Structure 1
């Protein structure tokens, strides 16, 4: 496994510029920028990003998800299977031994003139059979290395699944928090509309307001009821989704919070070239390419002669009680050299298939790397856009709240129509709703950025 330090860049360069050989690619041919174009803090990517949210409840939920989530258990089982496959592939290079006990009874018939003679004989014999294939060309070593790389790929996939699950749990947690805040806002809006409706209905009874004003306000009340039911349904769905994510039955019993934390610190992004070695999904694609490259070599070596040594030793007797008599020992020693001649094109087709799979794995690695760069650049740019949106919506919500108060006061003095009050209330509600949404979007984008950079969600213990 040594000598793979520059391979991630080399494979990517091979995929983009079409170089000829994965072993001889020049990593400098890949035009990877010295830094990401988005604004991030200087320095390497730090582990332990979950601490940025200062949320003990979230940390508990993530640990519960890592323990109980079925997808994580499935990925862990795949790793165990890949490790077992590696042991199986390595067994072919070792001495094979079988303890055999054979027993037989034979009947022979012969004739002399008109006489038919029949004889029966027994034969018993324990033996120890040994066999060993000399891996002269390294075919078995290539197959074993490919299986070990498969296990490393499965291990990287498990790490990627753990990171993804931690981020998705956090995203679901804050989606539920946003949904609860939206329920609260919808409830407050409905309560405000009901109070205004009560005032208008009282004014209608006293002949101070028009019936049209009352009906317009009743329309706003029913729309607010509809919006409250919608938000309650969304909150219910987000809670159940979170329960499934952490491995619970979706009973809608998990309590959520109505708080969206504010994170204003910049994220260290590290170097783009380091991303290829840090993100586990890219590492998995890289290991897959290495494995397919080894399998190409193994398939080509299937065309070469194979040398196998066999040995057998034991005893043989026609009486069962004499099989332990070492004076009746028998043994054999043989060497076999096998050169494939005609296989109907099977061996050649296996080589072509292995090469095609290697080409497929190479393109998968290139795509995974480009997708990773895209995710980092996109989330970095979104950090600034979402920050600007939140700043604008904070101002908008403040102004909308003041406008609603002014419109209501002017209506009570008879300076404006009820339509102006309803429009001011709608704008205030929309501004607050949008502010809650963008605050959650900032959290979701920050989690996507952490995931895109490949940093660990918990700080690694120092030795």
Structure 2
């Protein structure tokens, strides 16, 4: 008894070590590099806005509805439809659902595959070779089997786990792509609405200009009949009016195109959406902007690039795992009996255990090439990520520069419009009084229209830059966060 008792502890220890070793192989070994996000040097502040840019709270704007800061009822009505009906967003959503399914498929390889098979046959007894039926148990026989089977490929080298990691990162990239598509289409809708509103404002401006030219033609025509003005002035005034009327008609084409684009962006046919003329432009908002580092957290396209890096890093591990053998464990347990009666009796019990191992000995460098290709794809993803961040910084700087410089230009143009309006009134009155010629009066009116047009163009560009800034920063920074202070 004593020797037997002395042998038990070493045997138990051996079994424990064996189990621990298998557990380590199954769960602790993953070939390939673990993902680490590359460092990206970022400026402390934007060049255009040193330090923090203080936010201007807009308490009336619903949380998350960034378009509400423009106070345009058409935007408020249509923007929520983008995430529901826009076909580009729907396509991105379907791609995201597909990526989630791929994660589920990859994860399933970590677990055994369990199945069950059963069969039953009827067979007439064979002849004894002389044309007579076999005399022992002649007639029809039945046979059957019922068997459960298990097959499992243990993830010794982490290939499956790296695949799951890769697919999960790809799914996260798809989620960010969906967010990016949604924001991009929302920005496109806001841009189209602003273009439409400015076109309406241009129509109003040109309509007032046409009315002014009609008044010019009326006065010049009366003076021409009285012999005060030469016929050439009447012809010039009529030509001026006709050109303005032609430009006014042409604006109808631009307006129709913007309206059609808006309909498509919200998932409707152009015939389904009727947008009435509006005399009001959207409000120019003050968009809060945070530090450059916040771009890495808010911009969906940067998130896409970062997740693609993680996916390509995991793909390196998948490629390296090809150097190691594939091991599959299998087992079966069940019953087999002929005749069928008594199939589940213990005497008919059958079972089997097996293992398959396969390893590539020579592949002429194929696996080496696959690993090299995976590493190159990762480096490409890193470059794409850094390039995306740099482009994002450039976009925001461009938007901020535009907003700052155009604000100065708008201030000068407002004064110019005021002076041109007064100058046109004086010149027209002096022409009617006969103290200046027609050319002076019509030049003053043309200058007024040109100055008003320039002011409207600048206002449009300031609105577009505000929309672009919202998109380029991944959405405005909430006004109550430290980033907005």
**TM over 0.5: same fold?**
yes
The count of residues paired between Structure 1 and Structure 2 equals 436
SS of 1:204's partner is helix
Greater Rg, structure 1 or structure 2?
Answer: 2
After superposition, where does 1:62-101 map in structure 2 within 5 Å? 62-101=79-118
2:32 is equivalent to residue 37 of structure 1: no
2:223 is equivalent to residue 203 of structure 1: yes
Offset of 1:44 from its aligned partner? 8.9
73-82 vs 362-371, greater mean Cα deviation = 362-371
Offset of 1:303 from its aligned partner? 1.0
Structure 2 counterpart of 1:405: 425
SS of 2:357's partner is strand
After superposition, where does 1:39-438 map in structure 2 within 5 Å? 39=49, 42=52, 48=64, 49-102=66-119, 124-251=144-271, 253-263=274-284, 265=286, 267-438=287-458
Aligned residues of 2:153 and 2:327 also touching (Cα < 8 A): yes
SS of 1:398's partner is helix
Offset of 1:438 from its aligned partner? 1.1
Aligned residues of 2:285 and 2:466 also touching (Cα < 8 A): no
Offset of 1:34 from its aligned partner? 0.8
SS of 1:190's partner is helix
Offset of 1:457 from its aligned partner? 9.1
Cα distance change, pair 135–256 in 1 and its aligned pair in 2 (3 A): farther
294-303 vs 201-210, greater mean Cα deviation = 201-210
Aligned residues of 1:40 and 1:268 also touching (Cα < 8 A): no
Aligned residues of 1:178 and 1:258 also touching (Cα < 8 A): no
**Deviation per CA, 1:309-358, whole angstroms, max 9, x where unpaired?**
11111112233455444431211011233222234544333223322321
Structure 2 counterpart of 1:443: 463
Cα distance change, pair 150–23 in 1 and its aligned pair in 2 (3 A): closer
Aligned residues of 1:128 and 1:314 also touching (Cα < 8 A): yes
Aligned residues of 2:313 and 2:378 also touching (Cα < 8 A): yes
TM-score by length of 2: 0.82
248-257 vs 135-144, greater mean Cα deviation = 248-257
Q: Distance in 1 between matches of 2:99 and 2:478?
A: 26
Structure 1: runs of 5 or more not aligned = 1-20
SS of 1:196's partner is helix
Offset of 1:264 from its aligned partner? 5.9
Q: Distance in 2 between matches of 1:294 and 1:104?
A: 50
Cα distance change, pair 357–144 in 1 and its aligned pair in 2 (3 A): same
Offset of 1:244 from its aligned partner? 1.3
Offset of 1:26 from its aligned partner? 7.6
Cα distance change, pair 321–422 in 1 and its aligned pair in 2 (3 A): farther
**Deviation per CA, 1:13-71, whole angstroms, max 9, x where unpaired?**
xxxxxxxx9967883xx542111111278269897433322334422210022211111
211-220 vs 164-173, greater mean Cα deviation = 164-173
TM-score by length of 1: 0.85
Q: Distance in 1 between matches of 2:477 and 2:75?
A: 12
SS of 1:98's partner is strand
Offset of 1:123 from its aligned partner? 5.4
Q: Distance in 1 between matches of 2:372 and 2:143?
A: 50
